[in-house]
Amino acid sequence: MIVNVRTYTLVPRMLPKYLKAFEEVAMPVVKRHGFDLIGYYESVVGPQNQVVHVWRYDSMADMEAKRTARNADPDWRAFQQQTEGLVMMQEDKIMKPTAFSP
């Protein structure tokens, strides 16, 4: 198993617009392509205008296959068009569990 931790820093005041587009357009797409969302969070204390989402995959190959299918989906392209210019920065981490991780 691996976990993908993604942090997006959004243009100030654009967080509600981004979250609405993700919930209404992107979530149906990722569900359709078998993505396993562990959690989707917005910052409250610390750096502002950030969302952090955490995804579970069986392996790197599983992640790549799901991303390839998602990227070919016309609804995913619609989401990207709706959110163009809203993300200032993205950090993407691939994490693997330690031997003692639950």
What would the pLDDT profile of 33-51 be if each residue is shown by its tens digit? 999 999 999 999 999 999 9
Helix ranges (DSSP H) in 1-102 = 15-21, 27-32, 60-71, 74-82
Single pTM value for the model: 0.91
Q: Residue 102's pLDDT is what?
A: 84
Q: Would you call 14 exposed, middle or buried from its count of C-beta atoms within 10 A (0-12, 13-18, 19+)?
A: middle
**What is the mean predicted confidence (pLDDT) over 47-65?**
97
**CA nearest neighbour of 51 among 20, 3, 19, 88:** 19
pLDDT band, residue 54 (cuts 50/70/90): very high
pLDDT band, residue 80 (cuts 50/70/90): very high
